[in-house]
Amino acid sequence: MSTHDLYTLPAEHETWDVANTGYSRFSWEYDEGRDRLLNLYQKGKDKQWDQVTRIDWSIPVDPNDVLGFPHEMSPLFGTEVWDRMTPDQHDELGRHQVAWQFSNFLHGEQGAMICSARIVESVPDLDAKFYAATQTMDEARHAEVYSRFLREKVGLFYPINGQLKALLDDTLSDSRWDMPYLGMQVLIEGLALAAFGVMRDLTTMPLPKQILAYVMQDEARHVAFGRLALRDYYKELTQAERDEREEFVVEGCYLMRDRINGGEVYERLGLPVQRCLELNEQSDYYTTFRNLLFTRIVPTVKDIGLWGPRVRKAYADMGVLDHAAADVEDLMKADEDLAERLDREKRFAAEEAARAADVAAVIESAEG
């Protein structure tokens, strides 16, 4: 079966073609590199994993209760729109919302794979090329994981959201080598990491928790890569050049903030779209979720030096300026630690199951 048969809405084109811009850069300096970036490259090599063996795909998933979120978390719950729906329609709404969210995770991961490959091609420093090559593999794995989850466990796909597509287009169409870093590593990856984290921490279902935790373990390195690569470079820019990047950050953040409204789901299910979007804006859960999406972006933008008045004003208007005080490295370490803890728990459970099987075999043998 073609994936296009599982799209709830038709994808705009069979492929989306973005014209190449800029240069492919070779470096003849092979002897030296930045220690922290080379250490990150080594970590990227050491932490490669295979979704076939690390994720337990045998865990069942109820398509009508993928994440285990209660209906009360829906922005429509308790409203006149919700009351006109049947219980089956409530379940269908939840399934489509998960499909929409994870579809855009999937499309974002493909975008990250392409941006990482673009970084390998265009960045002038070999140490950055080395790391970006490992990230390209990471992003391919993430796209593989999300596509399998949607295909086998949810059974629905949604096309790429318009705001995400616009930001990817701006990122890939810019000829400056640092823009794939800024658009992908800082903005898109930062927002995705926060969204993954909210779902990972709230879901009661083991399979999506595994998927989100393991993807986040990789993404923590990717955001660190963007910070290391851009921090020194942006110190050398003129004020006019920094202003251009800050304008891109502000516009990108508004695009990404508005991306999460899920209007495509309401349209697909024949619900009153404008009223549902109004209810989104009034929902405590969506308001909190949208605020949390900036927990990784704001401190990273500050760290790389794009912290002029326009950026600060935009974050203040969005109500997310307080996130500037967050320690990104602590957040990333917590992401990595949680993934390792899940691995330990799975190993322990497997060992316990093996011991129980051995005991059962001994008892059966004795009784025989």
Instruction: Domain ranges for the chain, please list them.
Output: 3-13+33-338
Supply the pLDDT for residue 271: 97
- Residue (of 198, 194, 193, 173) closest to 183 by Cα position: 173
- The span from the CA of 119 to the CA of 128, in Å, is 8
Tell me, what amino acid is at 328? Answer: V
- Give the CA dihedral 92, 291, 300, 105, nearest 10 degrees: 10
What's the CATH class of domain 3-13+33-338? mainly alpha
Q: What is the pLDDT along the chain (368 residues), one digit of tens a residue?
A: 678 788 887 777 677 877 777 777 888 877 767 888 888 889 989 999 999 999 999 999 999 999 999 999 999 999 999 999 999 999 999 999 999 999 999 999 999 999 999 999 988 888 889 999 999 999 999 999 999 999 999 999 999 988 888 888 888 888 888 998 899 889 988 888 888 999 999 999 999 999 999 999 998 888 888 888 898 899 999 999 999 999 999 999 988 887 668 899 999 999 999 999 999 989 988 888 888 889 989 999 999 999 999 999 999 999 999 999 988 888 888 888 989 999 898 888 777 777 777 777 767 777 76
Supply the pLDDT for residue 228: 86
Do 209 and 125 contact (CB within 8 A), yes or no? no
Supply the pLDDT for residue 262: 85
Do 93 and 85 contact (CB within 8 A), yes or no? yes
- With 0.85 as the threshold, say if the pTM is over it: yes
Length of the chain: 368
Supply the pLDDT for residue 174: 87
Q: Residue 86, CB half-sphere, CA atoms under 13 Å: how many?
A: 4
- The span from the CA of 357 to the CA of 350, in Å, is 11
Task: State the sign of the Cα–Cα–Cα–Cα dihedral 135, 192, 327, 338.
Answer: negative
Supply the pLDDT for residue 209: 96
Torsions phi, psi for 345 (to 5 deg): -65, -40
